[in-house]
Structure 1
Amino acid sequence: MTSLRMAVQLLVVPMLATTLTACGDPIDDYCETLKGHQAELTKTLGEGDTSGLIAALPVFEDLERNAPEDIRKDWKTLTTAISGLNVALEEAGVSAADFEHGEPPEGVSEAEAKKIADAATQVSGTKTQEASVRVQQQARDVCHTSLTL
């Protein structure tokens, strides 16, 4: 699925080269959480495929829980989109790695394939991408964290 690849490229790639530093007093816990997950995110997302994105979901959910109020909604947008894709894949009994050249594996019904495609579109959609940009900007501005490649 092209949407799956696009979702990974648009959402994950900017997060790969994250270099986390200490944050200011108001959100030390959030910044420490970011720092604590740095190595795991780099490893998980480094594969550059949708499986890595889904594997990183628990980390994203932890960051959402620890996020300051002003950015929590954006983390929620990200985790909801990724979770939706994960659920669609699980319900079809497949993983993102099972797709070859964007085609679902044998045994996936048309309805399941549509649900997966719709969920992948959510991940790569404008709303999710805008949330990703805001999360990255927050990390740079508040935690003095570079999210550039």
Structure 2
Amino acid sequence: MTSLRMAAHLLVLPILATTLSSCGDPIEGYCESLKGHQEELTRTLGEGGTGGLIAALPVFEDLESNAPDDIEKDWATITGAVSGLSTALEDAGVSADDYENGKPPEGVSDAEAKKIADAATKVSSTKTQEASVRVQQHARDVCHTSLTL
């Protein structure tokens, strides 16, 4: 599905560019979570596309749960969007990989296809992209850890 692929690329590319580092005392747990998930994010997001993005959802949720107050809302925006897409695909009984040339596989109703498309649009929305940029900037500014994905 073209919009699924675009949504994944729009969210994954900024995350892949993130740089992170060791943190100050007030948010040490958050910075340690970022560092602790470094390898897993590299591997999971490296799978590419929407499938990799959805596979990274547990990491995003963990980072959200450890996020300091000033960035928690942005993590919630990201995890909410990706979770919505995951749920829409799961409810339809398909995976992102089941889409070919942007077309849903046989057996997906028009209503399910619309729900999936709407969820993919939310992942690639300006709101989600801006949240991703803020999360990355916060990680660079506060944690100062280099992350190469």
TM-score range, shorter chain: over 0.9
Partner Cα distance (1:146, 1:74) in 2: 21
Runs (4+) of structure 1 moved beyond 6 Å?
Answer: none
- 1:30-79 alpha-carbon deviations (Å, 9 max, x no partner): 00000000000000001221011001101000000000000000000000
Map 1:1-149 → 2, pairs under 5 A = 1-146=1-146
CA distance in 1, matches of 2:148, 2:14: 6
TM-score, length-normalised on structure 1? Answer: 0.94
Structure 1 residue identity aligned to 2:10: L
Would you say how many aligned residue pairs link Structure 1 and Structure 2?
149
Query: Is the contact made by 1:13 and 1:48 (CA closer than 8 Å) also made in structure 2?
Result: no
The answer to whether the 8 A contact 2:19-2:139 is kept is no
Contact in 2 for aligned 1:98/1:104 (Cα 8 Å): yes
Counterpart of 2:117 in structure 1: which amino acid?
A: A
Q: What is the one-letter code of the residue matched to 1:128?
A: T
Aligned to 2:101, the other structure's residue is in SS state: coil
Contact residue 21 and residue 140 of structure 2 kept, 8 A = no
Unaligned runs of 5+ in 2: none
Contact 1:51 1:97 in 2 (8 A): yes
The superposition leaves residues 122-148 of structure 1 with CA deviations (integer Å, 9 ceiling, x where unpaired) of 000011001001000100110114578
Find the aligned partners of 1:136 and 1:17 in 2 and give their Cα distance: 8
1:11/1:132 contact within 8 Å kept? yes
2:14 and 2:146 map into 1 onto residues whose CA distance is: 10
**CA distance 1:94–1:129, shift in 2 (3 Å):** same
C-alpha displacement of 1:21: 2.1
State the distance in 1 between where 2:19 and 2:72 align.
21
Normalising by structure 2, we get a TM-score of 0.94
Q: Where does the alignment leave 5 or more consecutive residues of structure 1 unmatched? A: none
CA RMSD of aligned residues (A): 1.5
Q: Deviations over 1:88-134 (max 9, x none)?
A: 00000000010111110011001100000000000000110010010
Tell me: CA distance 1:115–1:55, structure 2 relative to 1, closer, same or farther (3 Å): same
CA-CA distance at 1:6 after TM superposition: 1.3
